[in-house]
Structure 1
Amino acid sequence: MFPFQVVYRDETQAARALDDERLLALIRFRKPAAPLIDPRSGVIPLPELGGSSTVEVWLSAQPVRVGVTHGVSHAGNDTVLFLQCRLDEYAPDALQPLTAMAYRRLFAAARELGYPHLLRVWNYFPAINRECGGLERYRAFCAGRHQALVAELTEFETHLPAACAIGTDEPGLRLYALAGRTAGIQIENPRQTSAFHYPRQYGPRSPSFSRAVLKAWGERHHHLYISGTASIVGHASQHVDLMAQLDETLFNLRALLAQANRLMPEPLRPALLKVYCRSDLDLAALRQRIAQALDADPPTLFLQADICRRELLIEIEGLAVGSAS
């Protein structure tokens, strides 16, 4: 069986979720209000499109253990650990060392608690495309992440977590992550250059993440953690029109699923998607296009956000699942 599930629920159900002893995490998407006390609760300051108020709920199959270690909030069961970390930037050009510090803390907490393998990491910080000290902030973030991952991973290019990096409009570097006691399998997209092999034109250090991670939970149950995916072929951005970018993004998602399915006894199916858009859009048209391309209509959350490249208008990440009968 799967050790947890992820669902989208209405904000009105948040209090009930926080009373559940199986709750690994509850992520809200809005501007922060009062300081958060519960280590399982987090806020990503991104406006939701479409007028809804949605929370992301991670539910364990068993009661969880909750705590704070090395400044990292966490909740875990016997198999997986969910971690959350928030750090304030102490200077305008401090994102690179701050990112390295945040990742070192994630690894320290995960290893101390017995979950040494990062499977998926979400990264959020403000002004992602702004230049500071002659370097775009996303590229500074990539340099800090690379510094930490090289130090922490013995086989760097084959054990990278899936990831996304998204721009917010509120201060603070926010990370949340999923870690396991055992590793997953790194999946790369044959249509795209692996991000860790990008040429130097994309910054002093290449982005350090895998396109996806395939994780087996026993012999019959599998998760595919899909990184932020955009309109990129090889290493170059494609198209200036939103819908053309969406179609290219969906081509990439299908190629990634096909690559992972080569290792699967049963096909993976998209179970949950998160779509980041730079501006408000016709969500009905997007939902229809996504459902047609993926031959599935999974629960999908639309958030307004900045993407890691200025020219990109949309990015999609998510979860696919597979279960053998």
Structure 2
Amino acid sequence: MLDLKFEYAYSSVTGSFKTAFMDAFSKIEQEECLLKMSVFFASNSEENYFENLDFIREKGQAKFGSNMMGISYVSQKPLNSELIIELILAKKESEVLYTSYNDVSYAKVGVGDEKMLFISGIHGKKDQTIPQQSRAIFRVIRAVLEFENMPISSIVRQWNYIPDITRFEKDFQHYQQFNDARTLFYEGVNWKKGFPAATGIGTRYAPLLIDVIAMKGHLGEFPLMNSKQVNAHIYSNDVLLGAGDSVLKQRSTPKFERAKLIEEKQSVSVFVSGTAAIVGEESLALNNASEQTNITIDNIKNLISKEALSFCEPKLEFIRVYVKNPPDYGAVKRVCESRLSDVPAVYVEADICREELLVEIEAFAKVTV
């Protein structure tokens, strides 16, 4: 069920968003089942974001018709292309159903007790606060999961695109506000298999956007820990910023695992969360993007090493690299290409969850058994 493949369509055409999008979109072939599509392009205002999103959906509906899945538009500037479309695909013979619930389109692989959901492109509304957007989006995700008879704990991978992630409004930081809302959404849920793998990353001129992958019926599911890092969900109060939600007694930690291993009959897959140059819970190599990239890759390699997993080391299938400052792109790319030369990579500009962090990398890895 989880024999996934990541592919990318790039646009090198400069000019308008529509021109760049259609250049990349025309390169998508439908030989395999498309489960999730994400478009990376920087909007220049929130109004512009929704204009672009409407255009994406219009063209998506025209191309895919009844096979329309959720589409995410991520307001981040690609650094190795004008516009990037990321695709998650399944084999052509996969049992895929394209469906919707209350106008939320999503793809479903499998049926009954064995299935996998790709819920993408759930975004907040204009002029709402981060807590308001978070609560509204989580209500939508909860409703879809309940409709599919799946618990919240079935979420195995989550992407959280947070506008101006480190911004403070009075005493409240956007990232901390999101973490508090996520904690309230997860409250009362049995997370005996660990929290989801997740990325929390910044966007600009866009609403809050959340994508999730949920599963049930697979053989096994395990959180992976990096011996060199403190689990994010048990961070001390020292690294949390801003005031907390009044409903909670204290500021919430980020509720995600460093990675999530999924075991099935034919494969073992690993969703690697957004990873940065943090050892223990401390940010390292301040003001040095190259060294932060090296430390980040060390963290990922330690996380999925043969020693850590007690079996064959998974092969990295792709990495997505977030670079805070575009002038650092060349240095970051050189390190990635030197150390991960055979791994396809996408580079985008984005603020990281801590002001001092310059790079973040997420990944997907797989072992065929």
Task: Answer yes or no: is the 8 Å Cα contact 2:119–2:213 preserved in 1.
Answer: yes
| 1:178-193 equivalent positions in 2, closer than 5 A | 178-182=213-217, 184-193=221-230
Q: Which residue among 216, 236, 261 is the counterpart of 1:214?
A: 261
The residue number in structure 2 matching 1:73 is 105
The alpha-carbon deviation at position 17 of structure 1 amounts to 3.6
Match of 1:251 in 2: 298
CA RMSD of aligned residues (A): 2.4
SS of 1:103's equivalent in the other structure is helix
Tell whether the 8 Å contact from 1:50 to 1:283 is kept in structure 2 after alignment: no
Determine the C-alpha separation between the residues in 2 that align with 1:114 and 1:13. Answer: 36
The answer to whether the aligner puts 1:200 opposite 2:237 as a matched pair is yes
Which SS does the other structure have where 2:78 is aligned?
coil
1:275 deviates by: 0.4
> CA 1:263/1:253 → structure 2, altered by over 3 Å: closer, same or farther?
closer
Distance 1:57 1:170, change over 3 A: same
Q: Identify if the C-alpha distance between structure 1 residues 244 and 262 changes in structure 2 by more than 3 Å, giving closer, same or farther.
A: closer
Structure 1 pair 170/307, CA: closer, same or farther in 2 (3 Å)?
same
Match of 2:348 among 303, 310, 317: 303
Change (3 A) 1:154 1:101: farther
Distance 1:284 1:131, change over 3 A: closer
Helix, strand or coil for the counterpart of 1:77? strand
Distance apart, 1:58 and its partner CA: 1.2
Aligned residue in 2 for 1:29? 40
Aligned residue for 2:6? 6
* Corresponding residue for residue 129 of structure 1: 166
| Equivalent position to 1:42, from 33, 49, 72 | 72
User: For the structure 1 residues 174 and 243, does the alpha-carbon distance in structure 2 shift closer, same or farther, using more than 3 Å as the test?
Assistant: same
Superposition deviation, residue 286 in structure 1: 3.0
Partner of 1:322: 367
In 2: Cα distance, 1:80 partner to 1:261 partner: 29
Q: Is the 8 A contact 2:109 2:117 kept in 1?
A: yes
Amino acid at match of 1:120: R
Do structure 1's residue 164 and structure 2's residue 199 form an aligned pair? Answer: yes
Are positions 1:239 and 2:285 aligned together?
A: yes
Distance 1:238 1:212, change over 3 A: same
Matched, 1:64 2:111: no
User: Normalising by the residue count of structure 1, what TM-score does the alignment of the two structures yield?
Assistant: 0.89
User: CA 1:233–1:70 in structure 2 vs 1: closer, same or farther (change >3 Å)?
Assistant: farther
Shifted more, 45-54 versus 2-11: the winner is: 2-11
User: Unpaired runs of 5+ in structure 1?
Assistant: none
Between the two proteins, what is the percent identity of the paired residues? 24
Find the counterpart in structure 1 of residue 333 from structure 2. 287
Q: Distance in 2 between matches of 1:243 and 1:229?
A: 15
What runs of 5+ residues in structure 2 fail to find an aligned partner? 12-22, 44-48, 62-68, 242-250
Amino acid at match of 1:233: V
Question: What is the distance in 2 between the residues matched to 1:45 and 1:197?
Answer: 30
**Partner amino acid, structure 2, of 1:127:** D
The answer to whether the Cα contact below 8 Å between 2:289 and 2:331 also exists between their aligned partners in 1 is no
1:262 to 1:235, Cα distance in 2 relative to 1, 3 A: closer
How many residues align? The count is 317
Of the structure 1 ranges 113-122 and 78-87, higher mean CA displacement relative to structure 2 is found in 113-122
Partner of 1:184, secondary structure, is strand
Instruction: Write the distance in 2 (CA, Å) between the matches of 1:107 and 1:318.
Output: 26
**Residue deviations 1:251-308 (CA, integer Å, cap 9, x gap):** 11111112x76435422011100000112146554334224434x5211000001111
Name the counterpart of 1:98.
133
Moved more, 111-120 or 278-287: 278-287
